[in-house]
């Protein structure tokens, strides 16, 4: 299977520093303000949301196609909420809102396929069940 790549760089202290995240076709700046307040720029949670919305839409398309249907459009919006507890900041909720245009699809079938998609799209599986082995290595640069 394919391995995808992304990169992030942070410069400075947490409150007044700034960073850049990039991957194929995207590069965006982020700051403490864009992540935890209402400052301009992006943040990791937006990218998590985009990844989840994209994965959900594609997986639902797979299931619809396997049902012999031809989806015209699947538009998914993700709202990612970050909160804080005694252990620090963490994502508390991801709410997916999906609108599907597909001739021959009824609400009952969509409801069933959407529930399967929520459980089985690879990004949902990562978040819900921890299906990925996460390896991390840090090296000091002089």
pLDDT by residue for the chain (142 residues), tens only, comes to 888 999 999 999 999 999 999 999 999 999 999 998 888 889 999 999 999 999 999 999 999 999 999 999 999 999 999 888 899 888 888 999 999 999 999 999 999 999 999 999 999 998 887 666 777 786 857 8
Based on the domain organization, do 53 and 115 belong to the same domain?
yes
Based on the domain organization, do 31 and 48 belong to the same domain?
no
Based on the domain organization, do 21 and 50 belong to the same domain?
no
Give the range of the structural domain holding residue 92, as residue numbers without chain letter: 44-129
CB-count exposure of residue 27 (10 Å: 0-12, 13-18, 19+): exposed
Based on the domain organization, do 32 and 54 belong to the same domain?
no
How many whole angstroms separate alpha carbon 61 and alpha carbon 56? 9
Split into its structural domains, the chain has a count of 2
Considering the domain boundaries, does residue 134 fall inside one? no
Considering the domain boundaries, does residue 141 fall inside one? no
Q: Rounded to two decimals, what is the model's pTM?
A: 0.88
How many whole angstroms separate alpha carbon 31 and alpha carbon 48? 16
Task: Find the CATH number of the domain harbouring 51.
Answer: 3.30.300.20
Based on the domain organization, do 63 and 115 belong to the same domain?
yes
Based on the domain organization, do 37 and 49 belong to the same domain?
no
Considering the domain boundaries, does residue 65 fall inside one? yes
**98 forms bridges with which residues in the sheet?**
76
């Amino acid at each position: 299977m394919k391995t995808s790549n992304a990169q992030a760089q942070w410069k400075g202290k947490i409150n007044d520093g700034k960073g850049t995240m990039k991957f194929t076709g995207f590069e965006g700046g982020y700051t403490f303000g864009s992540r935890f307040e209402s400052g301009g720029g992006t943040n990791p949670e937006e990218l998590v949301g985009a990844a989840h919305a994209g994965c959900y839409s594609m997986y639902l398309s797979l299931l619809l196609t396997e049902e012999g249907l031809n989806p015209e459009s699947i538009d998914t919006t993700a709202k990612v909420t970050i909160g804080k507890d005694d252990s620090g900041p963490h994502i508390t909720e991801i709410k997916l809102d999906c609108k599907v245009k597909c001739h021959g699809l009824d609400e009952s079938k969509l409801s069933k396929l959407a529930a399967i998609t929520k459980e089985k799209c690879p990004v949902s599986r990562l978040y819900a069940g921890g299906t990925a082995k996460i390896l991390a290595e840090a090296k000091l640069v002089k």
